[in-house]
Amino acid sequence: MNEIPQIELTGITRVYGKGEIAVRALDGIDLTVAAGEFIAIMGPSGSGKSTAMNVIGCLDSPTSGHYRFNGVEVGRLSQDQRALLRRHYLGFVFQGYNLLPRASALHNVELPLIYKGLGRAERHNAAHEALRKVGLDNRAHHDPSELSGGQQQRVAIARALVGSPQVMLADEPTGNLDTKRSIEIMEVLQDLNRSDGLTIVMVTHEEDMAEYAQRRIWMVDGRIERDERTRKAA
Amino acid sequence: MLWETFRLAIQAIFRNAMRSFLTVLGIVIGVAAVISMVTVGQGSTQQVTADVEKLGTNVVMVLPGQDTMQGGPGGTADPMFTLRINDAVEDQIASVALSAPISQSRARVIFGNENRRTDIVGTDNRYFEAARWDLNRGRFFELSELQSGKAVCVIGETVRESLFGFADPVGETVRIKTLSCEVVGLLKSKGASTFGSDQDDFVILPIKTFHRRIAGNTDVSTLFVSVRDGASIERTMEEITALMRDLRRIGRGEEDDFEVVDMEQFATMLSGITDILTGLLSAVAAVSLLVGGIGIMNIMLVSVTERTREIGIRLAIGAQARQVLLQFLVEAIVLSLIGGLIGIALGLALAVLGANWLSIPFTPDPGIIMLAFGFSALVGVVFGFFPARRAARLDPIEALRHE
């Protein structure tokens, strides 16, 4: 029996605007990601890697083509249905951390669980557990402003983790960090991938960071140019 | 989920406490205005009713014609009444329980070093009964005092306070013009009337004493008539009019040179005026509620713009549009409800002060309070909906990119 790929994109396009001024951010993408893979999407700015990420993360809908998640077509879902998909299957990590200011690390991490409808005690347990995984349980009651960039990003990773997603989407997660912190973050991601079998799709333009992935996708002008396995991860 | 949303709204409101307060100020003022206006209005309506009841709803007053009122120098004054006319009204009309003759003027009353300019009223014991005056100390007049026109008087609470302080006035002698008279009784206080005048500010003499020693004539300026219980006031007034026309020999087609006033009608008219005023002021207050609502909408729109990134984060981690809508809507409602509550408290406080100042009862109306509360919730829903919908319709990608 054929195993169903976790993420399967076929002929995905994403066109902004209409007619003469139309921009083809994605120009026919075919990509298959199996459960438990760690892939890095690379490319120069304007190559469409962020758009690809948004489509995979169900923040955006493709203009044409098919997107199957666990074998289910999700490219044509309504906004609310996509929100539910994000809530239950996906976790996001952004370049700018995107934590709620003036809210404790704990509150930031438990936020997705509020939308999942979990009770207070359950949420707190899960949030503490997620913070422990990223090594920040002792900072649970600090506000983001009291944390370093690397710590903030780890809180963001804990937030992405807390809902037990199948796929984590990381958009330039080390973009704002120095090398030492970047390595720490990548090690956290790699550990999650290896020990928890979490599928990770990461966008980056840093070669060093892409080394942590098992697979690298090179994008240029809205197309996939290369798709290769990396040495280090293999 | 709803509880979480509520908590979130409280947090967001108190995070920006100063701004939140200024935002709800419009609602606070609007609600406070409505509550205080209506409460004071209802208090004064009750006061009118209470005054009439104190006076007796079955009281009819007979006064000389309008000309007397307007008749300054050179004006023609309708003639005053006499004791005989008063007694005729009491004796000849079956539905009249009693009729008290009243004469009055103003003069200075002196006791020791204290003095007070006050109303000097000449009447007899029938007046105390008809106007429902009770004694605090001493007694009313004795028959012999009334018949001989003895120099005795009964005083009101205000006069006692002014002349005697806390001392007992009964048995003391006060001077009015050239008359030295003994205080035999002190009346129980009735407080201020609806018209704001102090009802306790007077000295009462036997009418004979008043005629001889104060007025120098035998005029009666008012008949204070008490109608029998169960008798028709309207019928009685007609009968009084007919008898008065007869007694004063007014021919057919000639106008009355006196007036018969029904206190109940008078009170109804007065509370009617109060109601209209209350209505008008409340309308003005309602407009300020509307303005307050627009203030809330304005700040909620600013808040949505400021928190675009937060909305983006919430959408990205799986919040549905309607959950974001609910969050902002609940925030607007909680905000305006807080405004409403402050407004209700402030309005009631103002009403207490106002009631005190106007000497009327403080009568908070739970209905109006509930209405103001409900209305401020409605303001939150109506003016919070548009900003909340704007928040809910944000594109998560755009929102996350927002600086």
Q: Do B318 and A79 touch (CB under 8 A)?
A: no
> For B257-272, what is the mean pLDDT?
77
In tens, the pLDDT along B84-106 reads 899 999 999 999 999 999 998 99
If asked whether residues B248 and B109 sit together in one domain, one would say yes
Question: What is the pLDDT of chain A when averaged over all its residues?
Answer: 91
Q: Tell me: the pLDDT tens digits for A49-76?
A: 999 999 999 999 999 999 999 999 998 8
Nearest to A86 among B309, B317, B323 (CB): B317
**What residues in B contact A117, CB-CB < 8 Å?**
1
**How many angstroms separate the CA atoms of B387 and B91, rounded?**
78
Contact B318 A112 (CB under 8 A): yes
Q: Among A14, A88, A98, which would you mutate to test the B interface (most chain B Cβ atoms within 10 Å of its Cβ)?
A: A98
Nearest to B118 by CA among B187, B236, B49, B201: B201
Residues of B in contact with A100 (CB under 8 A): 310, 313
Residue of B nearest to A85 (CA): B318
Burial of A157 (0-12, 13-18, 19+ CB in 10 A): buried
User: Are both B26 and B121 inside the same structural domain?
Assistant: no
Name the residue facing A83 among B4, B313, B315 (closest C-beta): B315
B15, B314, B315: residue with CB nearest A102: B15
Would the pLDDT of B353 be above 60? Answer: yes
At B340, is the secondary structure helix, strand, or coil? helix
Whether B107 shows a pLDDT value over 80: the answer reads yes
In chain A, residues with a C-beta closer than 8 Å to the C-beta of B1 are 114, 117
**Chain B residues 182-241 with a CB less than 8 Å from chain A:** none
Would the pLDDT of B75 be above 60?
A: no
Whether B57 is in a domain gets the answer: no
Neighbouring CB atoms inside 10 A of B302's CB total 13
pLDDT score for B5: 82
Per-residue model confidence (pLDDT) at position A233 = 47
Distance CA B364, CA B352 (A): 9
Residues A49/A65, Cβ–Cβ less than 8 Å: no
**Final residue belonging to a domain, choices B256, B286, B314:** B256
Residue B314 host element (H or E): helix B308-316
Share of chain B above pLDDT 70, in %: 93
Do B250 and B292 fall within a single domain? no
Digit-coded pLDDT (tens) for A154-177: 999 999 999 999 999 999 999 889
Residue B254, sorted as left (phi over 0), alpha (psi -120 to 50) or beta, turns out to be beta
Average pLDDT over residues A78-86: 92
* A60 contacts in chain B (CB < 8 Å): 397
Give the pLDDT score at A147.
Answer: 94
Q: Are residues B378 and B238 in the same domain?
A: no
Q: Which of residues 166-185 of B touch A (CB under 8 A)?
A: none
Residue, of B65 and B195, whose pLDDT is higher: B65
DSSP 8-state assignment for residue B216: S
Between CA B203 and CA B210, with CA B206 as vertex, the angle to 5 degrees is: 75
From B206, B231, B256, give the residue that closes a domain. B256
Of the residues B256, B290, B321, the one at which a domain ends: B256
pLDDT score of A234 more than 50: no
The CATH code of the domain at A7-229 is 3.40.50.300
A84 to B320: CB separation less than 8 angstroms, yes or no: yes
pLDDT digits (tens, 9 = 90+) for B132-168: 899 999 999 999 999 999 999 999 999 999 999 888 9
Task: Determine whether the interchain pair A59/B316 forms a contact, defined as Cβ–Cβ distance below 8 Å.
Answer: yes
Give the gap in angstroms from C-alpha A162 to the nearest C-alpha of chain B.
11
Contacts of A91 in chain B (CB under 8 A): 317
Q: Please give the share of chain A, as a percent, with pLDDT higher than 70.
A: 97
Which amino acid is it at B293?
Answer: G
In a shared domain, residues B251 and B310: no
In chain A, where the domains are located: 7-229
**Parent domain of B314:** 2-52+268-401
Q: What is the mean pLDDT of residues A87-110?
A: 92
Task: Specify if B305 maps to a domain.
Answer: yes
Interface test with B, best of A49, A53, A58, A59 (most B CBs within 10 A): A59
Other CB atoms within 10 Å distance of the CB of residue A62: 23
Q: What is the pLDDT of residue A231?
A: 63
Range in A144-158, B43-57, B171-185 with the lowest mean pLDDT:
B43-57
| Angle between helical axes of B17-55 and B366-392 (0-180°, round to 10) | 160
CB atoms A83 and B320 under 8 Å: yes
Strands (E), B66-151: 96-111, 114-123, 135-138
Neighboring chain B residues of A83 at a CB cutoff of 8 Å: 315, 318-321
Residues B86 and B182 in one domain: yes
| Pair B339, B27: CB distance under 8 Å | yes
Residues B313 and B273 in one domain: yes
> pLDDT band at residue B364, thresholds of 50, 70 and 90?
confident
Choose the closest CB to A86 out of B316, B321, B397: B316
Lowest mean pLDDT among B179-183, B238-242, B354-358: B354-358
Chain B residues whose CB is inside 8 A of the A203 CB are none
pLDDT of residue B3: 80
- Find which of B29-33, B254-258, B338-342 is predicted with most confidence, using mean pLDDT: B338-342
Within a domain: B66: no
B298 in the same domain as B161? no
Query: Given pLDDT bands bounded at 50, 70 and 90, which one contains residue A40?
Result: very high
Place of tokens 């249905």: A81
* C-alpha span between A163 and A182 (Å, rounded): 24
Contact B397 A84 (CB under 8 A): no
Give dist(CA A117, CA A113) in Å, integer.
6
Integer-rounded Cα Rg, in Å, for chain A is 18
Gyration radius of chain B's alpha carbons: 32
Domain-located, residue B263 = no
CA atoms within 13 A on the CB side of B317: 30
Pair (B178, B322) in one structural domain? no
- Residue in B closest to A89 by C-alpha: B318
Choose the closest CB to B319 out of A91, A98, A115. A115
Say which of B15, B309, B321 has its CB closest to residue A98. Answer: B309
Model pLDDT, residue A89: 95
> Alpha carbon of A159 to those of A111, B317, B372: distances in Å?
8, 9, 43
Tens of pLDDT along B306-336? 889 999 999 999 999 999 999 989 989 998 9
Strands A167-171, A199-203: pairing is: parallel
Residues for chain B: how many in total? 403
Query: Residues of A near B (CB-CB distance < 8 A)?
Result: 54, 57, 59-60, 79-80, 83-84, 86-88, 91-92, 94, 98-100, 102, 111-112, 114-117, 159, 163
* pLDDT tens string B187-199: 998 876 655 667 8
Residue type, B369: I
Given pLDDT bands bounded at 50, 70 and 90, which one contains residue B234?
A: confident
Chain B 295-324, residues with CB within 8 Å of chain A CB atoms: 309-310, 312-323
Residue among B361, B332, B330, B364 at smallest CA distance from B345: B364
- This complex has an ipTM of 0.91
Which range among A176-190, B57-71, B193-207 shows the weakest confidence by mean pLDDT?
A: B57-71
CA distance B293 to chain A (A): 28
Question: CA-to-CA distance for B191 and B51, rounded, in angstroms?
Answer: 10
CB contact under 8 A, B316 and A117: no
Residue B71 within any structural domain of the chain: no
Which among B285, B276, B277 has a CA at the least distance from the CA of B32? Answer: B285
| B332 vs B377: CA distance, rounded Å | 9
* DSSP letter string, chain A: -PPPPSEEEEEEEEEES-GGG-EEEEEEEEEEE-TT-EEEEE--TTSSHHHHHHHHTTSS--SEEEEEETTEE-TT--HHHHHHHHHHHEEEE-TT--PPTTS-HHHHHHHHHHHHT--HHHHHHHHHHHHHHTT-GGGTT--GGGS-HHHHHHHHHHHHHTT--SEEEEESTTTTS-HHHHHHHHHHHHHHHHHH--EEEEE-S-HHHHTTSSEEEEEETTEEEEEEE-TTT-
- Cβ-defined contact of A83 to B318 (cutoff 8 Å): yes
Q: CA angle B384-B389-B391, nearest 5°?
A: 100
Chain B's closest residue to A102, CA to CA, is B15
Give the model's pLDDT for residue B77. 62
**Nearest-by-CA chain B residue for A107:** B8
Kindly indicate the confidence band of residue B74, based on its pLDDT and cuts at 50, 70 and 90: very low
Rounded Cα distance between B70 and A194, Å, is 105
Sequence-distant (≥ 6) Cβ neighbours of residue A232 within 8 angstroms: A211, A212
Q: Is the CB of residue B83 less than 8 Å from the CB of residue B207?
A: yes
State whether B169 and B313 are in the same domain: no
Do residue B97 and residue B170 come from a single domain?
yes
Find the CB nearest B396 among A59, A88, A159. Answer: A59
> pLDDT at position B196, please?
61
User: Are B148 and B126 in the same domain?
Assistant: yes
pLDDT tier, B71 (very low <50, low <70, confident <90, very high otherwise): very low
Inter-chain residue contact A88 with B318, CB threshold 8 Å = yes
